[in-house]
Amino acid sequence: MKKQPLKHRDINWLYFNERVLLEAQCKDTPLLERLKFLAIFSSNLDEFFKVRVSQLRQLKDVEKSLRRKLALKGNKTLKQILSTVAEQQRLFGKVIEETLTELRDKGVFLREIQELDPEQHRFLQELFNREIKEQCQLLDFSNPRLIKDGALYLVIETASLPLQIVEIPSKQIGRFIALPGIQHNYIYLDNVVRLFLSELIPNEKVLGSYSIKISRDAELYLDDDYTDTQLVEKIYDSLGQRKSGQPTRLLFDAAMPAAMQQQIQKALDLGPVDMVAGGRYHNLSDFFEFDIESAGPELKYNPLEPLPHPVLSTCKDMFKAIQGKDQLVHFPYQQFDTVERFIAQAAQDDKVNSIKISLYRIAKTSALTDSILKALENGKEVLLFVEAQARFDEANNIKWGRTFEDAGAKVLYSVPNIKVHSKIALVTRIVNEQVEHYAYIGTGNFNAKTARIYCDHGLFTAHNKITSELNQVFEVLERKLIIPKTKKLLVSPFSTRNTFMELIQNEITNAEKGLPARITAKMNSLEDTKMITAIEAASKAGVEVRLLVRGFCRLIPKEPHEVKGKEKPIYITSIIDRFLEHGRIYLFENGGKEKMYIGSADWMTRNLDRRIEVLTPILDKDVFEELKDILQLQMADNFKARVLDANDTNRKVQVDTDRSIRSQYAIYNYLKNKYNAES
């Protein structure tokens, strides 16, 4: 059987990030929100170089026989990445310039040095002397390890000294300085430092200054992507040591003289491909903080306050409400305090004897963590699974884990070679000597902050079979059980892949019998080769396949004219809008008796085989219909959706109707109108 071609994961991820950039370019996106999308694009790209490009660079040093087993072509892929990034960076610069120009027309100014008036100059001189100067430490390139990953620097050329470097203290001061005079007048902190460089280097003539930023390699994260643990260890052994902290990209001002570029390249021991020309200003992820409260409403999204849940937000006893009927919650459309109140009630309820919860990304402070500590104070048995390998959140997670341990919780950390990515909680009550279980299974983290910007769903249920199976999952985490025996829940790495394969094969069989056959699925990323092969087989058999994939997607869909016979085209879209699409929903026609699952797993190899993931079936009829309505609104989006085609054109969905559907707003209005009507 001929192997199906697939898109390269890392190259395709860049086209996902391009969709973020295109949202910044959209004229229907308010101007200050465009800056946020530019910040997201910049932040995403920094992490991409830190992790994915880092991996390619490090694996170049691995002997060819091992690289072949991983099917890696580091040099070729790296060249294509750098070419694609360079093209996107040009668009990035163009969009920034257009956005800042339009903001000026609306009365928001980001001033250049030459635009300052005498009063503003005096103000900045005083600010520099009072707060900024003491934060500006001069360095040179004699010890390049002192140049921090991701920090912003000015390289200063003088008449007689070696190249000097000064870090822009944006973390201490803030990147944008409000100027006196007319409202909404700002200047980059970089330019304030530039303005007074002569005071940092007295008795020297400053010839020029140019911004640079270094991205350093993160630790090599192969465990997350490859299932052959022996091969992974061989790779680590062959590298000798993981090159954490090695410079992987130098972003520099394209106006920098060529001779200076060469000096810096040599001093940092960089190759030509590591030198990336950019604009005058770097670290534009700092635009996250450029939020003007008093700006006109046309510059920002209209407020969309989370709705109260029709049952859980007003009931006095959440356990009673959940016992009576499954309850579905949707974030950020509804209030996250339903989850917080669930744990808070468990902490105070004298009938609750245990709380079990998995925490993947823990907020630094939250009502949820307060409730967990209160439960311990009240003598509840608390079992917490804290993921110690949640990339870039490791330190905060471990800090909280120790805090909970000190308060008396039983805290478990990562299972060897397996991350715990599930979003699950289980509360046990003893009522009249009878055991009652209450479960929460979601698609997103237990994090109130991200719940305001991530689109996620969560199910509260007291269904006996689901809660008893979820208890088995926690027993696996506690090392009390090796394999959970589940018939309702899908649990990775034990049953998720096989069950999805069976569900897809069932659709193929039904299509061959002439029965209704359809697969509708929403996920963050589609990468797993076997799942892609199964989906392609389904489309060839006549199964209608409709996918919504926010991030990268390795499947190469055929154009309609390429589809022959009973085969049906696979149609894939992606939505980038004001909220981050994060929910995973899987719907199978099942011959007219539809089956639906929600949970934490994407169709990626690591989610199916290398992580603890939990997906729950939707058994309650009302909950099923509500979730299906929401899924259909997302699939019908013709305002923000873009088509994921074979050539990664990122073209917008063609509108062939007078009705414009912007799914995120449509979902909010759907929930608002539905429960207003019912009340």
Instruction: Report the catalytic residues.
Output: 421
Residue 360 annotated as part of some ligand binding site: no
Can you tell me the distance from the alpha carbon of 11 to that of 556, in angstroms, rounded to the nearest whole number? Answer: 13
R_g over Cα of the chain? 27
Using an 8 Å Cβ cutoff, are 519 and 539 in contact? no
Crossing angle between the packed helical segments 74-105 and 9-25, to the nearest 10 degrees: 10
Using an 8 Å Cβ cutoff, are 356 and 386 in contact? no
Which alpha helices (H) appear in 378-444, and where do they start and end? 394-406
Chain position carrying tokens 């390699």: 217
Three-state helix/strand/coil letters over 67-90: HHHCCCCHHHHHHHHHHHHHHHHH
Residue 44 annotated as part of some ligand binding site: yes
For the record, the structure tokens of 354 come out as: 């245990």
Can you tell me the distance from the alpha carbon of 232 to that of 416, in angstroms, rounded to the nearest whole number? Answer: 14
Residue 391 annotated as part of some ligand binding site: yes
Can you tell me the distance from the alpha carbon of 146 to that of 267, in angstroms, rounded to the nearest whole number? Answer: 12
266's CB contacts (< 8 A; 6+ apart) are none
For the record, the structure tokens of 438 come out as: 């209450």
- Buried b / exposed e across 142-169, counting CB within 10 Å, b at 16+? eebeebebebbbbbbbbeeeebbbbbbb
Using an 8 Å Cβ cutoff, are 445 and 332 in contact? no
Using an 8 Å Cβ cutoff, are 311 and 611 in contact? no
The dihedrals phi and psi of 588, each to the nearest 5 degrees, come to -120, 135
Can you tell me the distance from the alpha carbon of 316 to that of 425, in angstroms, rounded to the nearest whole number? Answer: 20
Residue 454 annotated as part of some ligand binding site: yes
Residue 582 annotated as part of some ligand binding site: yes
Using an 8 Å Cβ cutoff, are 523 and 631 in contact? no
Q: From the annotation, which residues make up the binding site?
A: 44, 361, 391, 454, 550, 582
- Annotated binding residues for ATP, written as ranges, equal 44, 454, 550, 582
